[in-house]
């Protein structure tokens, strides 16, 4: 049986886990470890068949072709200066409201139930963290978290595509591992992209959002 058809004990395709692992590495801040991560991605892509491999390969090639400083500046401009391109998934489902803390707790609880502690220096809903968890710790729980946040992923994918970002193909590859978005999800993603997330600056404490390989900076301004 071909690798892309194999499934693990949770019923998740092995190829999906490879896509998630590669995406987690590609979406990390392009620091001094970028070359090593791109080499790892190249190895992973040797086992990823079809469009997903091509999509991830586009991002990998673009990053490998960029000068390190230019790649870092582009990353900051893309993910830190554009709220529509934030990789904090609960921002789109809860915004700056009291509900966001509860939704982040759902991620942290999933990690603990899988036997690993939540990240210390990063928010548990940060997309590269979620992808790493899904790829290497608990694929079933990871898929459920990603699927439950399909709308934020679609908003992010659309924002990156509109900006012509080299990261857009990677998020598209992640979306392709999930069930096809329903009409309701598509309408909700379109609405959020136009008007933004819920707003209520009450009862939410600020989070310190810094985890390797991400640079030492805070969450995007909301």
Q: Is the pTM for the entire model greater than 0.85?
A: no
**Higher per-residue confidence, 1 vs 76:** 76
Domain boundaries, the chain: 1-195
pLDDT at position 195 over 80: no
Give the pLDDT score at 6: 52
The answer to whether the CB of 139 falls within 8 A of the CB of 17 is: yes
Who's near 108: CB < 8 A, 6+ residues apart?
118, 124
pLDDT at position 221 over 50: no
Choices 3.30.310, 1.10.3480, 1.20.140, 1.10.40: CATH for 1-195: 1.10.3480
The answer to whether the CB of 18 falls within 8 A of the CB of 48 is: yes
**Higher per-residue confidence, 9 vs 207:** 9
For the stretch 118-161, pLDDT in tens is 988 889 999 999 999 999 999 999 999 999 888 889 989 999 99
**Pure H helices in the chain:** 14-26, 34-45, 50-65, 68-75, 90-94, 98-113, 127-136, 139-148, 150-162, 168-176, 183-195
Q: What is the total residue count of the chain?
A: 222
Question: What is the C-alpha to C-alpha distance for residues 58 and 43, in angstroms, rounded to an integer?
Answer: 15
**Higher per-residue confidence, 74 vs 185:** 74
pLDDT band, very low/low/confident/very high, at 180 (cuts 50, 70, 90):
confident
The answer to whether the CB of 38 falls within 8 A of the CB of 50 is: no
> 3-state SS string over 183-198?
HHHHHHHHHHHHHCCC
Question: What is the C-alpha to C-alpha distance for residues 215 and 17, in angstroms, rounded to an integer?
Answer: 25
pLDDT at position 66 over 90: yes
Question: What is the C-alpha to C-alpha distance for residues 37 and 219, in angstroms, rounded to an integer?
Answer: 23
């Amino acid at each position: 049986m071909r690798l892309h058809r194999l499934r693990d004990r949770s019923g998740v395709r092995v190829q999906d886990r490879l896509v998630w692992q590669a995406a987690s590495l590609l979406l990390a801040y392009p620091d001094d470890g970028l070359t090593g991560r791109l080499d790892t991605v190249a190895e992973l892509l040797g086992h990823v068949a079809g469009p997903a491999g091509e999509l991830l390969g586009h991002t990998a090639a673009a990053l490998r072709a960029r000068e390190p400083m230019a790649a870092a500046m582009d990353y900051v401009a893309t993910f830190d200066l554009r709220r529509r391109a934030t990789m904090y998934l609960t921002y789109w489902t809860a915004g700056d409201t009291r509900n966001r803390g509860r939704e982040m707790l759902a991620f942290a609880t999933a990690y603990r139930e899988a036997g690993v502690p939540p990240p210390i220096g990063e928010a548990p809903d940060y997309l590269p963290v979620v992808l790493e968890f899904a790829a290497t710790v608990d694929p079933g729980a990871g898929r459920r978290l990603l699927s439950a946040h399909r709308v934020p992923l679609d908003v992010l994918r659309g924002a990156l595509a509109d900006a012509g970002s080299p990261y857009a193909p990677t998020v598209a590859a992640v979306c392709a591992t999930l069930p096809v978005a329903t009409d309701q999800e598509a309408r909700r993603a379109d609405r959020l992209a136009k008007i933004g997330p819920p707003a209520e600056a009450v009862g939410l404490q600020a989070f310190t959002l810094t985890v390797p390989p991400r640079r030492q900076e805070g969450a995007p301004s909301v």
